[in-house]
């Protein structure tokens, strides 16, 4: 992998009609999108100039690692390589974990709209995952309204979104496939960060 080309992936990245290339500005400025993505999905793109990775955190390949949003914890959402919103997205945790979570911003937007609890999903059974989703909705009683308003702001038809199962399977595919190897993140001492999702989880 070089600094100008993101890794190829066997499954084509998601596409949102009439939105590719225009999502990021809306995520940071449209109040309906911000209310959901920053307030519910924990993806804050409202102040991109303040986003800065911890010193020394970089891609092992030498390709560009560009932070474009943050979580409330300070974890980072980053683009890999050169280009626009079609680039792979890597999540870098302050707990020294990192890994790809989407092949392009449209795919990340879909994941956040359908399963904003994705961080808690890997390794859980269907029953456990339903409990996580139910708890999330209890904490955000107006979840559906905020999600629907955000989708409309981005020009997305909710009926055309992939299922939760499909998106979470895609998340696992990226975490174990060639994109994960190409998007390996190292810390300031040059050691690889731990995988974001372990293959086995008790």
pLDDT tens sequence across 27-82: 999 999 999 999 999 999 998 777 778 888 999 999 999 999 999 889 999 999 99
> If residue 122 lies in a helix (H) or strand (E), which one and from where to where?
none
pLDDT tens sequence across 123-182: 777 788 888 888 888 999 999 999 999 999 999 999 999 999 899 889 888 988 788 999
What pLDDT is recorded for position 176?
84
Cα 144 from Cα 75, distance rounded (Å): 25
Confidence of residue 2 (pLDDT cuts 50, 70, 90): very low
What pLDDT is recorded for position 71?
94
Token pair listed for 29: 């400025």
Handedness of CA 80, 86, 92, 98 (dihedral sign): negative
pTM score over 0.95: no
How many helices (H) and strands (E) are present in the chain, helices listed first? 7, 7
Query: Above 90 in pLDDT, residue 21?
Result: no
| CA neighbor of 108 nearest in space, from 195, 167, 31, 196 | 167
Which sequence spans correspond to the domains of the chain? 23-188
Confidence of residue 6 (pLDDT cuts 50, 70, 90): very low
pLDDT tens sequence across 96-125: 999 999 999 999 999 999 999 998 887 777
Based on its alpha-carbon atoms, the radius of gyration of the chain, rounded to whole angstroms, reads: 16
Q: With 0-12 CB in 10 A as exposed, 13-18 as middle and 19+ as buried, what is 19?
A: middle
Confidence of residue 192 (pLDDT cuts 50, 70, 90): very high
> If residue 106 lies in a helix (H) or strand (E), which one and from where to where?
helix 105-114
Contact at 8 Å (CB) between 34 and 28?
A: yes
Handedness of CA 116, 117, 123, 128 (dihedral sign): negative
Contact at 8 Å (CB) between 36 and 99?
A: no
> If residue 154 lies in a helix (H) or strand (E), which one and from where to where?
none
């Amino acid at each position: 992998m070089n600094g100008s080309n993101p890794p190829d992936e066997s499954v084509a990245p998601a596409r949102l009609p009439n939105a590719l290339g225009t999502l990021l500005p809306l995520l940071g400025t449209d109040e309906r999108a911000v209310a959901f993505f920053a307030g519910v999905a924990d993806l804050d793109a409202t102040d991109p100039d303040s986003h800065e990775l911890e010193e020394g955190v970089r891609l092992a390949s030498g390709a560009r690692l560009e932070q474009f949003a943050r979580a409330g914890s300070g974890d980072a959402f980053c683009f890999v390589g050169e280009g626009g919103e079609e680039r792979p997205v890597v999540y870098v945790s302050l707990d020294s974990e990192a890994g790809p979570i989407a092949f392009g911003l449209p795919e990340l937007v879909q994941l956040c709209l359908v399963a904003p609890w994705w961080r808690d999903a890997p390794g859980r059974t269907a029953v456990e995952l339903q409990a996580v989703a139910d708890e999330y909705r209890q904490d955000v009683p107006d979840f559906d309204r905020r999600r629907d308003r955000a989708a409309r702001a981005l020009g997305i038809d909710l009926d055309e979104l992939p299922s939760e199962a499909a998106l979470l399977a895609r998340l696992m595919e990226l975490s174990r496939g060639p994109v994960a190897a190409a998007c390996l993140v190292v810390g300031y001492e040059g050691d690889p960060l731990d995988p974001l999702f372990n293959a086995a989880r008790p």
